[in-house]
Amino acid sequence: MARMTLTFPDEFLWGTATAAHQVEGGNWNNDWWAFEHRPGTPCAEPSGDACDQWHRYPEDVALLAALGFGAYRFSVEWSRIEPEEGEFSTAALDHYRRVIACCRDHGLVPVVTFHHFTTPRWAAAGECWSDPVTAERFARFCERAVAALGAEIGMACTINEPNIVATLGYFLAAFPPGVSDVDRYQRANDTLIRAHRLAYEALKAGPGDFPVGLSLSMAEFVAEPGGEEHMRRVRHTMEDIYLEAVRGDDFVGVQTYSRMRFGPDSPVPLGPAEGVPVLQMGYEYWPQALEATIRRAVEVSGCPIHVTENGIGTADDRQRIAYVTEALTGVRRCLDDGLDVRSYFYWSLLDNFEWALGYMPTFGLIAVDRVTQRRAVKPSAAWLGQVARTGRLDPAPGVSGG
């Protein structure tokens, strides 16, 4: 049976997302750059010039607006704004003021993330997030940054995926500082939660009047028979402690890509199930996860929802359209059930630096030539821009997940 065209409310916000270290280039003064160059880490390649967005943001913002989107989510780089402890760079703050003004000039709502995975070298030199002092340092940075930028900010995320910072950095050793230490892992989670609370207060106290929230990495958690206890335990540390800590905030940012399955034998998630396509990231093609995680985020946190990231790394742009169509169909079902979902931000505007995996995974609506930096708009960008402009979603004709 043919599926009907779906419509989204006029006030629903459509955007794309990026992060400073993944697109700016030359961010040598943070812990990620150091990690990329440290022998023995799992990093495929260094970030280098990334997409040179530090210089090319006017072109990127103009492209995004011309495609039909209404918002741009990007992050400000702490290591540029506070290159040494207590030394703040007016030039770096002016740069981000220009980026925000550029968004406004093009009619885009600027959505600013204050921490997206990277920490200045000076703040990372000790125990970083497993040292409680990092919460106060981060809050002080937020206070200074919002004093300069707050008046024109449209919406803010305090910390991007603190659960990933903690789990990958302090337990799985795949992110800096690259350690596996249960005690430090616990302290990192505690510090990140406290950092969010302090940053929330700092951003609210500054100039401007914009919604503030935390953006959380979520997955559809699935238990195979006997795997329920493993699933519940992992989900508690990965999601629940954060969703409980954000109750009463302006919103929670849901960021979802796939699902995680658990069996009876081990707390480690099972690999991809047979018959489900596997993506560049090594996880399953599972667009239905977005609906499941929105529902869970509402249930546990009680907050309004912004989908601050959803997307797919694939070389097949038709598969991207199919994935987003399916994911948005789930968002529409949530709206039908009266859930307060306010936006959808596609990850990502550009093919960019995917952390330890380097430039191999291609999440972008726009391709970037790694030598010339030339931008090439993919068909999915025009397609999603049209959805954004019209608020209408047609089922993708004859495209499957595989």
Residues that bind ligand GCO (CB under 6 A): 19, 22, 160-161, 164, 217, 255, 309, 347, 354, 363
Q: How far is the CB of 312 from ligand GCO (least distance, A)?
A: 9
Q: How far is the CB of 2 from ligand GCO (least distance, A)?
A: 33
Q: How far is the CB of 361 from ligand GCO (least distance, A)?
A: 7
In which residue are the tokens 């000076």 written?
A: 122
Q: Which is nearer to ligand GCO, 6 or 322 (CB)?
A: 322
Q: How is residue 75 written in tokens? A: 């992050």
Q: Which is nearer to ligand GCO, 148 or 159 (CB)?
A: 159
Q: How far is the CB of 193 from ligand GCO (least distance, A)?
A: 17
Q: How far is the CB of 255 from ligand GCO (least distance, A)?
A: 5
Q: How far is the CB of 277 from ligand GCO (least distance, A)?
A: 17
Q: Which is nearer to ligand GCO, 77 or 309 (CB)?
A: 309
Nearest to 308 by CA among 260, 261, 341, 274: 341
Q: Which is nearer to ligand GCO, 22 or 191 (CB)?
A: 22
Q: Which is nearer to ligand GCO, 6 or 349 (CB)?
A: 349
In whole angstroms, what is the distance from residue 330 CA to residue 310 CA? 12
Which residue number is nearest to ligand GCO in terms of Cβ?
A: 161
Q: Which is nearer to ligand GCO, 152 or 316 (CB)?
A: 316
Q: Which is nearer to ligand GCO, 80 or 116 (CB)?
A: 116
Q: How far is the CB of 203 from ligand GCO (least distance, A)?
A: 19
Distance set, CA 138 to CA 194, 199, 213, 320 (Å): 10, 7, 15, 36
Q: Which is nearer to ligand GCO, 24 or 354 (CB)?
A: 354
Residue 97's Cβ-count burial label (10 Å; 0-12, 13-18, 19+) is middle
Q: Which is nearer to ligand GCO, 119 or 217 (CB)?
A: 217
